[in-house]
Structure 1
Amino acid sequence: MSLDWLYAPCVHADADIAESAHAHQLQLTKPPGSLGQLEAVAIQLASLQHTKHPAVDRVWISVFAADHGVAEENISAFPQVVTGEMVRNFASGGAAISVLARSLEATLDVVNLGTVNDPGEIPGVRRAIIAPSTANFCREAAMTPAQLEAALAAGAQSVRMAKAADTQLFIGGDMGIGNTTSAAALASALLDEPPSCLAGAGTGLNATGIQHKVSVLERALALHGTAKDALEQLRCVGGFEIAALTGAYLAAAQAGMPVLVDGFITTAAALVAVTIQPDVRPWLLFAHRSKEHGHARLLAAMDAAPLVDLGLRLGEASGAALAVPLLRLACALHNGMATFEQAGVSTA
């Protein structure tokens, strides 16, 4: 197994189509810029999809589930067994993302990378087991090099499946008790900022719980302070699902597939991907601003303008799924509105 594929070139957006799409927006029967971000995302999608008629009818949602060794440090309001139990819930259709995926007629790809209470073979769940959980990164690196490679490859595999299904938009989601701690550690390392700026309530911690979480993060970052490379930081304090998301975002940009990024966990993975390959950034659209404390800082670091701010912090790709109708409407407006000439409407 090799990591050389991480550095394969990304597909480039079509600058000519972007210019044409922008010119088209100026001719539609509305004041210029009056549809705000809906105009911008339609232009971005047109340039990424290399078409004058962008669309996101075919959506693929991959939810990566994995457990975290740092849960031993009592950094979650929920027990670790919840991860495996939620994998079952995804498959049976009872989770939020299951409902949203059905409503969007999107493909839901649930990938079990390793849980402490392995639910076994479940219809609708792909098993890509790496280990029951990562190691406790307060004591050692979260992943071995081989485990990191396997997790990155699992994300790329989901993108290959999505590409084979002629998908127009890829969404990654996460499930794993302890993963906001992992994402905060990773963000702190990547941005060289104190954990207090990035750690939040996660599953519902109170102020005392958040302070404990910060102290755990400080210990971990002190232990792994020599890990300066983004991949090594991911290996030391990341999670299997965060690595899979990173691999998926890299693979999507290499395959020419637009990505809609969800919340705090997925944005941390996106930052890793963009740090490894800056050319990934144009392929990322951002769905929402999570209520999780550190998300705003991650969005700012990526110069990202999320579509909505609804106070969400569920994960699972739920915020991204909720934003899909906005993208579909942005495309419908771009493709379906009349121009001033067609409508016989006077311009200034």
Structure 2
Amino acid sequence: MNPGSVAVVVAEDIGVPSWDLYELSIPCTVFGKPQPDLADPWYDLRLCSTGKRQQDGSPTESGLSLQTRYGLDDLVGAHTVIVPSVPDPCVDEGRPLPSALITALRHAYDAGARMVSLCTGAFALAEAGLLDGRRATAHWMHTAQLAARYPKVRVDDSVLYVDDGDVLTSAGLTAGLDLCLHLVRRDLGAHVANQLARRMVVPAHRPGGQAQFIDLSVPTTDDGSLGPVLDWARTHLDQPLTVEDLAQRAAMSPRTLHRRLQAATGTTPLQWLLNQRLGRAQHLLESTDLPIEKVGELSGLGTANNLRHHFLKQIGVSPSNYRRAFPRAMPESSPSPQEPGPGRRGPTAG
């Protein structure tokens, strides 16, 4: 099967940090390098500039220069059109995207192209009206802006990517890689996608419905009384901690603890404890081969059924499926008591 051409939009005056260039590099890595032993023909990749980068190599803030051979006219006729992150001012300050880009996206879609956005590229698809009435996602830091600016879009801030048939959107950074591998899986089958993921040393498949993993920040406020008690709680997650326990440890009332923790982390003490327990469980599932029951016990989430309930609700996958996404070359037999895990969570972070 010929997977066709993939046109990747390079925004004019992109002037963005290197992590945006990373998202530009994802489709280049997945679709740009021929893999004749996996599928022949492979994808035909084209970088399409919105303006002057088609003629010269203008510098980005990362110190690199970009130069392309194709323009927006080349979007029409492509099988797949991918819009990586758009320039930050277009998201944070509401600056308009180039009208030529919006028109070209509409024309490409009308011509039958499959439309894809990575991270804040969803703003371009939304501006073109291609997300109206559809479920879509973006990086969790920008989903509120996306929803406010484009109320016709059903924004889902809790997933890695959304496949709505001919329009697909992803969250930020590595979620874009998940979506690109998903496209390969759709076009060329699971075997090809899995082999490609193996060569890239990444998980073969993370379901789009899996929640975005969001780091929970350790409070960095002037309220120095919180740090020690939160550190203590992280090392005692296997115990049945309560809000009263934390308040007593911090020598303050539960109400005061609630107020200060809410101000420092944006969440309540009960939710903070649950997030930390989930983060501990994630760490154990990623780095050990402990039974699910033991993971529930050490994380303080209790039984395997209780662990599964919270995983499905907060992260969107079962503990077993989550573990399968993190293969280990040398499984550990026991956890480190001082490493409660990355504290990553899903929908409740926004």
Flag whether TM exceeds 0.5 (same fold). no
TM-score (norm 1): 0.35
TM-score (norm 2): 0.35
**Rg bigger for which structure?**
2
